[in-house]
């Protein structure tokens, strides 16, 4: 274990040091001789573009940092990292076309995305046919449970985060009753259902388990009025998109709701502040390694690179920063063969472990998921639970999925 951690730190230091030199000189420190290309398949346009664009920007930022350092070392060579995006437009048919383009036309064997259950389930056959590793941000268990073996969940699932957050609020804030509200679309409804099941197991009193709103809704006064009247201790916005969360929070508070508000999805503090202002205080959401209390120097540098790529920082990127890093690090450990042979990559996953480069204390970062999926098909990103305090995210607690 200690060897793995040492290697992880060395690679980070090499990357960061190289990036600093490259930034100073304005050109790559050491020229990469070969190219490794990774695909990003996600929602890159339309109302939900934020989901996929964050994946793309994260991958691009990581690639830029390594490229500036002269490339990423795999075996005896340094590889220039290239990111090729494909837009799903939140349409499963277009997602399949994008997956075919990336895997068959371009011959890529590593893809980050898609962003939703419907998209990920649609492209799974395409990925499996070409034995391509893909990292969806979708929670359907069948993607990750045998016989499936090519999908790796890129984040903490709502059904993993929910019980941990509810339990914390029960113990620390005296929460006894709960209501759920979700957008009327498959992913959010699934998260609502699983959240309610988890709350039931914790013996929370469920006042509303099936309240929904139209996916395109922007005014939530009428939707929230009946929920607020029931006075639950906690209202969970299941699977809520960053664009919708501030509107829901503001409406709930303006309706006089005094209880706790939370979600199991990642949010953006700037959007919360713009849309909900002081009403966002106390809102609990899942975050990444991007609060000052826990972020490493490497994460700070990544944040700056992300701002260069995307124009501004998005807190959701803190949860999606891991994908390309894990692909590269796993290939590096599995050897150059894994660049084209994903069986070598999969064989490495069980024992893979590095020091988490994004967190200050560098806790172990590995693949997990045996408990939920009977195999290690989830990136073991830490469960960072944030609360809005004084207009910014503060880390409430950090948990890990075993």
Partner 1 sequence: MTQILIDGCVLSANYALIALGITLIFSIINLLNFAHGELFMVGAFMVYYVYGVFHLPFVAGLVVAALITAVIGALFEKFFFAPVMRSSTREENSMLLAVGTALLLDSVALFAFGHEQRGVPDVIPGVMQIAGGFLPYQRLLVLLVSLLLVGVLLWFVQYTRPGRAMRALAQDRDAARLMGVNVERTSMLGFAIGAALAGLAGGLLVTVQGISAGAGPAISIKAFIMIMIGGAGVVGGALLGAVVLGFAESVGYSLLPGSETYLLIFVALILFLIIRPQGIMGHPWG
Is residue 9 a contact residue for partner 1 (CB under 8 A)?
no
Distance in Å, CB of 42 to partner 1, minimum: 12
- Site for partner 1 contains 207 (CB under 8 A): no
State residue 134 phi and psi, 5-degree precision.
Answer: -135, 150
Choose between 130 and 212: whose C-beta lies nearer to partner 1: 212
Q: What are the helix (H) ranges across 130-267?
A: 158-173, 186-201, 221-229, 245-254
Q: Kindly tell me which of 184 and 374 has the beta carbon lying closer to partner 1.
A: 184
Q: Which stretch binds partner 1 (CB under 8 A): 7-15, 39-47, 136-144, 392-400?
A: 39-47
Structure-block tokens of residue 398: 């950090």
Contact positions with partner 1 (CB under 8 A) in 248-287: 254-256, 268, 270-271, 274-277
Q: Is there a contact between 233 and 176 (Cβ–Cβ < 8 Å)?
A: yes
Encoded one letter per residue, x for contact with partner 1 by CB under 8 A and - for no contact, window 147-186 reads: ----------------------------------x--x--
Rounded Cα distance between 244 and 317, Å, is 18
Using the rule CB under 8 A, is 391 a contact of partner 1?
A: no
H helix count then E strand count, the chain: 14, 15
Q: Which stretch binds partner 1 (CB under 8 A): 121-129, 197-205, 243-251, 290-298?
A: 243-251
Q: Residue 247 interacts with partner 1 (CB under 8 A)?
A: yes
Residue 311: CB minimum distance to partner 1, A:
7
Indicate the angle between helix axes 49-68 and 297-310, nearest 10 degrees.
120
The reply to whether omega before 114 is within 30° of 0 (cis) is yes
Assign 63 to helix, strand or coil: helix
18 makes contact with partner 1 (CB under 8 A)? no
The residue assigned the tokens 């000189």 is 25
Site for partner 1 in 60-89 (CB under 8 A): none
- Tell me if 214 contacts partner 1 by CB under 8 A: yes
Is 345:334 a contact under the CB 8 Å cutoff?
A: yes
> Does residue 226 interact with partner 1 by CB under 8 A?
yes
Nearest to 55 by CA among 384, 318, 380, 378: 318
The neighbouring-strand residues paired with 38 are 83
**Residues at the contact surface with partner 1, assessed by CB under 8 A:** 45-50, 53, 181, 184, 208, 210-214, 216, 218-219, 221-223, 225-226, 242-244, 246-247, 254-256, 268, 270-271, 274-277, 311-312, 314
């Amino acid at each position: 274990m200690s060897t793995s951690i040492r290697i992880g730190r060395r690679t980070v230091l090499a990357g960061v040091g190289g990036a600093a030199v490259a930034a100073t000189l304005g050109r790559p420190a050491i020229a990469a001789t070969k190219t490794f290309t990774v695909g990003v398949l996600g929602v890159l346009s339309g109302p939900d573009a934020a989901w996929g664009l964050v994946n793309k920007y994260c991958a691009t930022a990581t690639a830029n940092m390594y490229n500036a350092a002269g490339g990423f070392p795999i075996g005896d060579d340094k590889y220039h990292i290239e990111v090729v995006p494909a837009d799903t437009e939140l349409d499963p048919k277009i997602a399949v076309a994008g997956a075919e383009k990336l895997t068959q036309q371009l011959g890529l064997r590593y893809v980050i995305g898609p962003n939703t259950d419907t998209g990920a389930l649609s492209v799974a056959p395409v990925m499996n046919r070409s034995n391509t590793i893909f990292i969806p941000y979708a929670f359907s268990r069948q993607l990750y449970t045998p016989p499936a073996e090519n999908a790796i969940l890129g984040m903490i699932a709502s059904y993993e985060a929910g019980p941990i957050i509810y339990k914390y609020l029960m113990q620390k804030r005296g929460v006894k009753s709960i209501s759920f509200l979700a957008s009327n679309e498959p992913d959010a409804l699934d998260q609502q259902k699983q959240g309610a099941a988890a709350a039931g197991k914790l013996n929370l009193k469920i006042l509303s388990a099936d309240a929904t709103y139209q996916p395109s809704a922007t005014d939530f006064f009428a939707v929230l009025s009946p929920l607020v009247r029931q006075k639950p201790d906690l209202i969970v916005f299941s699977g809520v998109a960053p664009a919708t969360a501030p509107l829901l929070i503001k409406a709930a508070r303006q309706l006089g709701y005094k209880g706790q508000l939370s979600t199991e999805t990642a949010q953006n503090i700037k959007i919360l502040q713009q849309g909900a202002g002081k009403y966002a205080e106390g809102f609990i959401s899942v975050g990444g390694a991007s609060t000052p209390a826990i972020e490493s120097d490497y994460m700070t540098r990544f944040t700056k690179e992300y701002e260069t790529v995307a124009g501004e920082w998005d807190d959701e990127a803190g949860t999606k920063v891991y994908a390309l890093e894990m692909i590269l690090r796993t290939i590096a450990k599995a050897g150059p063969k894994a660049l084209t042979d994903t069986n070598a990559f999969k064989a490495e996953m069980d024992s893979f472990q590095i020091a988490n480069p994004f967190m200050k204390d560098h806790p172990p970062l590995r693949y997990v998921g045996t408990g939920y999926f009977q195999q290690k098909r989830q990136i073991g990103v830490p469960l960072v639970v944030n609360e809005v305090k004084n207009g910014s995210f503060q880390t409430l607690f950090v948990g890990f999925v075993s």
